[in-house]
A and B are shown apart, each in its own frame.
Chain A
Amino acid sequence: QSALTQPPSASGSPGQSVTISCTGTSSDVGGYNYVSWYQQHPGKAPKLMIYEVTKRPSGVPDRFSGSKSGNTASLTVSGLQAEDEADYYCCSYGGSNNLGVFGTGTKVTVL
């Protein structure tokens, strides 16, 4: 059971875009359209931002978008705002015996 690979950090100026990758295998990311993304501010519980690769829950700004190509999923935050500074984690369904495989996490800094 290996964690999905994310870059440790990403950054951008206010108004710019940042894209975070999440690389897995054909047994998780590449095999299912069940990739989700979570935002976590320090000391807080994670918050669902994207589910089923591209869908946004009610209340999540449309600045957040998701995509997938092969074994790699991506989260893009457009029009960066100060409140977007947080840790982001991807998660993929990995089959009936490995339900939730999380990524290594990416710290997004708004410059």
Chain B
Amino acid sequence: QITLKESGPTLVKPTQTLTLTCTFSGFSLSASGVGVAWIRQPPGKALEWLAFIYWDDDKRYSPSLKSRLTITKDTSKNQVVLTMANMDPVDTATYYCAHSLLGMFGELSEFDYWGQGTLVTVSS
């Protein structure tokens, strides 16, 4: 059974760096064809893909946020960490991590398992 859970601060100040941890079980992030994504959702708004880390440590970022994001993994701890620099009130959102399987040529196929999400508020 695959489970994921996000953890991190609920409140950050503008200009600070946000660090979120996704702790998962039920799969190995060293297995070929597997990846973990971070996705966010501002209150009342749509989902937005942020970052993705592949089993082989390759990484991809949303083009619009690439300069602010870093995604890493610790396979031994079954954790994926996302950092987002220079936080702004518009970054207030629920942040989700999700398990993903990849297509034959590395295409992101779907997000089949999601964490419960963690609400991060950016305010001074």
Contact = CB atoms under 8 A, between A and B. Distances in A.
Interface stretch (A12-20, A74-82, A97-105): A97-105
A36 B46 contact: no
Contacts of A52: 109-110
Nearest to B61: A97
A103 B49 contact: no
B110 A51 contact: yes
Interface in B104-123: 106-112, 114-117
A103 B63 contact: no
Contact of B63 (A32, A36, A48, A97): A97
A34 B106 contact: no
B47 A46 contact: yes
B48 interface: yes
A98 B37 CA distance: 12
Interface in B68-124: 96, 103, 106-112, 114-117
A89 interface: yes
Contacts of B46: 3, 89, 102-105
Given A38-B47, A45-B96, A89-B47, A98 B63 contact: yes
Given A45-B115, A46-B114, A102 B49 contact: yes
Interface of A: 1, 3, 32, 34, 36, 38, 45-48, 51-52, 57, 89, 91, 93, 96-105
6 contacts: A38-B47, A46-B111, A47-B114, A48-B111, A51-B110, A96-B106
